[in-house]
Amino acid sequence: MPAMLPDFSLRARNSFGFEVLAEQAYSITDAEQIGAVMEAIESAGLPWRVLGGGSNVVLPPTLSGATLLMDIAGQAISQQDECGTVVSVGAGVNWHDFVIWTLDQSLPGLENLALIPGTVGAAPIQNIGAYGVEVGGNIQSIEAYDCHSKTMVTLPASECAFTYRNSIFKAHPKRYIITRVHFYLPAAWSPRLRYADLAAAFANRHAPTAEEVMVAVCKIRNHKLPDPKLIGNAGSFFQNPIVENAQYLALLKQFPELVSYPEGDEREGKRKLAAGWMIDHCGLKGKRDGAVGVYQHQALVLVNHGGGNADSVLALAKTIQDKVQDTFGVALLIEPIRY
C-alpha cells in the first residue's frame, strides 16, 4: 500500500492552477495497490475521488477525505496483425505524449485528439473528442477496479456507454477506477478532415499524413486555446449543446450566422450548436470578473488570471449560462467535473 501523503498540494495537479490541498493523498502506481487503499478509506468512512492530471476539474481550496493520484505509467503494443494493432496504456500516462508515441510507432488514428490535456485514464470518462473524432471510437476495452465487487474487471467498449462527452464512468463516478486502457488502431487509415479548420488547413493540397494532421491540430489548438502553464484553464468549459432540428431551424431564422454541426445520424433530427459562438454573440468573450475571465481568443474557455478559485470561476460560469439561456433559450452544461 502506498504511503498516505497528508495536506498534499494539488496546485500542480489542476490546470486552473488553484491553490488546493488534499487532506490525504495516495500515489497509485500499480493497480494492485487500489484494493488496500480503498479498504483503508472505507474503514475510516472517508469521502474520496481519483485525480489524474487535473485538466478537467474545478477543485475547492480543500479536498476533504482521500484523493487517489492516478500515476500508473507505461504503454506497449499487446497485439498486432494485418488488420490492426492493440495498444495497452497505463491510466497515468499523459494523453498527448501517448498520441505522439502512437505516431512514432506508425500507428495513426488518434492524431485529431492531439494536445488535449490530461491523462489516458481520464480520456474515456469524458469520452474526449475533437475535430470529428471521439476517443471511444478507438477503445477496445478498459481495465478498472470495481468498487462494488472489490475486484479488477475488464469492460469491453460496448459496455462503456460512450456518448457525446459521456460514459458509464462519468455516469457512475464511484463505481470504477480506471487503471489501464486498451486501444484498437486499424491498419487501414485515412485523414479525417470534416471540421472546417482542418479542411481549410489542407485545402487544395495532397492528402495529408497522420503526422501532418497532428501538426495542424496542434497549431489550431495553440491558436485558439491558452497554455495552462501560462494561464490557468480547463480547456472547453461548456459542452456544445445538442438540440432538436426544429429548435435549431427556429434559432437559425433568428440568428442566421449561428454556427452548428451535424450530430449523429441525420435521421435522428438533431444538431450540435457551437457554445463558443453563442457566448461570443452575447458579448462575453474577453469578459473579466476579478481574477477569472473568458479567454479573449476563445469564448468557450474560462481562465484564471491568478488568485482565482472554484467559487469565482463557477460564479462567472453561472453568469454566462444565464445570458445564453435568456438569449437563445438553450442551456449550457459545464464540462469539467466539480468537487
**Claim to verify: residue 25 and residue 93 sit in the same structural domain:** no
> Do 57 and 98 have their domain in common?
no
Rounded to whole angstroms, the Cα distance separating 331 from 339 reads 21
Q: Determine which of 39-43, 74-78, 226-230 has the lowest per-residue pLDDT on average.
A: 226-230
Is residue 89 helix, strand or coil? strand
Q: What is the CATH number of the domain that holds 86?
A: 3.30.465.10
Tell me which of 123, 156, 186 is where a domain ends: 186
Nearest to 53 by CA among 98, 2, 3: 98
Q: Is residue 142 part of a domain?
A: yes
Q: Is residue 321 part of a domain?
A: yes
Tens digit of each residue's pLDDT (9 = 90 or more) over 307-338: 999 999 999 999 999 999 999 999 999 999 99
Flag whether 238 is in a domain.
yes
pLDDT at 265: 61
The mean pLDDT value of the chain amounts to: 95
Could you tell me the residue range of the domain that residue 22 belongs to?
5-70
Shared-domain flag, residues 92 and 169:
yes
Would residue 109 count as lying in a domain?
A: yes
- At residue 266, the pLDDT reads 58
Number of structural domains found in the chain: 3
- Could you report the per-residue pLDDT of 102-148, keeping only the tens digit for each? 999 999 999 999 999 999 999 999 999 999 899 999 999 999 999 99
Q: Beta strands of the chain (E only): which ranges?
A: 5-9, 21-28, 48-51, 57-58, 62-70, 75-80, 84-90, 129-130, 133-134, 139-146, 151-156, 176-186, 232-236, 242-244, 260-262, 270-273, 288-289, 292-294, 301-304, 337-338
Contacts of 242 (CB under 8 A, 6+ apart): 164, 263, 270, 271, 272, 273
Do residues 85 and 164 both lie within one domain? yes
- 165 vs 128: CA distance, rounded Å: 6
Both 58 and 85 in a single domain? no
**42 shares its domain with 142:** no
The verdict on 174 and 120 lying in the same domain is: yes
Do residues 66 and 98 both lie within one domain?
no
Q: Give residue-wise pLDDT tens across range 189-229.
A: 999 998 888 999 998 778 899 999 999 999 999 988 899 98
Residue 206 makes CB contacts below 8 A (sequence gap 6+) with none
pLDDT digits (tens, 9 = 90+) for 142-184: 999 999 999 999 999 999 999 988 999 999 999 999 999 999 9
pLDDT at 267: 58
pLDDT in tens, 218-264: 999 998 889 998 999 999 999 999 999 999 999 999 999 999 988 86
- Domain assignment present for 319: yes
Phi, psi of 98 (to 5 degrees): -65, -40
- Longest alpha-carbon distance in the chain: 63
Domain-terminating residue out of 44, 70, 96: 70
pTM: 0.90
Closest by Cα among 231, 278, 260 to 117: 231
Catalytic residue ranges: 165, 236, 335
Pairing assessment for the beta strands 133-134 and 129-130 based on DSSP bridges: antiparallel
Tell how strand 84-90 and strand 176-186 pair up.
Answer: antiparallel
Residue 332 lies in a domain: yes
Q: Are residues 89 and 56 part of one domain?
A: no
pLDDT-based confidence at residue 281 (cuts at 50, 70, 90): very high
CATH code of 283's domain = 3.90.78.10
Give me 90's grid cell. 497505463
pLDDT score of 39: 97
Has residue 198 been placed in a domain?
Answer: no
pLDDT at 151: 98
**AA identity, residue 301:** V
**Residue 174 covered by a domain:** yes
